[in-house]
Chain A
């Protein structure tokens, strides 16, 4: 009994020691706490993560995206030749080809600093319908969404994000 108690005491000391050692590792340096968090992407791909399509046949797949609150991105058909349209693509060599992509119409807005100019934009959640043709098998596709985002008074550089989709051609 005495030995069992000794072993339990040893185990308790070990556990307390481990907890004490792991504690400081959770501390974030104070200076880092005061800094703003690293900016996230203006557009986030939501779903689907995986689709199953008939191999060799053009099949529509609906891709869901979200624009961060307070921001807008140009639609696929922006109102000015200089503005960068939102576009989706699939690089070659992934076993999946993009036949065509269909984009929603943009919402027409104007901004406080330039009320005369109308912009065709996406805000909040939007979808892109992609007609894809997959060869037989499992393909991890890294599609690309290219866009350019602004808020009420400033604009971010054009950006391309990955759109990862597991495409199963059956």
Chain B
């Protein structure tokens, strides 16, 4: 009888340990899933109306564009807020990004076409989070490359540096080019990731300019 009692308690103890292990495993998986979900606020590709190519839908669509103040090539701080009342295309690019180089002449042309209607482009150089903050030589080279790129491509709009510092606010910027189209009230009305077409960019500019 006594032996049976001991066996019973041992069994219950082992059972309790496994119950705890099962609960701990479930909690871990729940937290991992939550982490995955929170990191997945980077936008999704959805089919365009009428089929065909996929459209990029940013979680920022319909929301105020996250504020920032970044340094331009002359060393002055430029806040996004100073463009309130204008439609703005926030264009994240990098000198090492081939598709960015292809779309830049289109953006220059469209900016010149719609500037009189209150449209501006902010080109934000995003050389990559691989550069350590202490790597002065690396950052200096990145800035020199940006200057050279801007001169060669004849970019007339403001170009700001250190886009990596605001990349998280804009969905992580895993891929470039990435553009966010902001209306006159500061609300994101469209976004795109990757090279699209000049007509797609123009369509998004018109959305930003619409009342």
Contact = CB atoms under 8 A, between A and B. Distances in A.
Interface stretch (B26-34, B109-117, B183-191, B203-211): B26-34
A106 to B, nearest CB: 14
Given A39-B174, A155-B97, A114 B102 contact: yes
B149 A35 contact: no
B37 A83 contact: no
B22 A35 contact: no
A59 interface: no
Contact of A150 (B7, B39, B98, B130): B98
Measured as residues with beta carbon below 8 angstroms from the partner, the interface class of chain B is 35 or more
A146 B39 CA distance: 25
Interface string B141-165: 0000100010000000000000000
A155 B95 contact: no
Interface in A114-128: 114, 117, 119
A24 B22 contact: yes
Contacts of B15: 14, 17-18
Contacts of A35: 36-37, 40
A21 B22 CA distance: 6
Interface in B94-133: 94-102, 126-130
A155 B100 contact: yes
Interface stretch (A25-33, A45-53, A94-102, A134-142): A25-33
B40 A36 contact: yes
Contacts of A24: 22, 26
Interface of B: 7-8, 11, 14-15, 18-19, 21-23, 25-26, 29-30, 33, 36-37, 39-40, 94-102, 126-130, 145, 149, 173-177, 193-195
Interface of A: 7, 10, 14, 17-18, 21-22, 24-25, 27-29, 31-32, 35-36, 38-39, 82-84, 111, 113-114, 117, 119, 146, 148, 150, 153-160
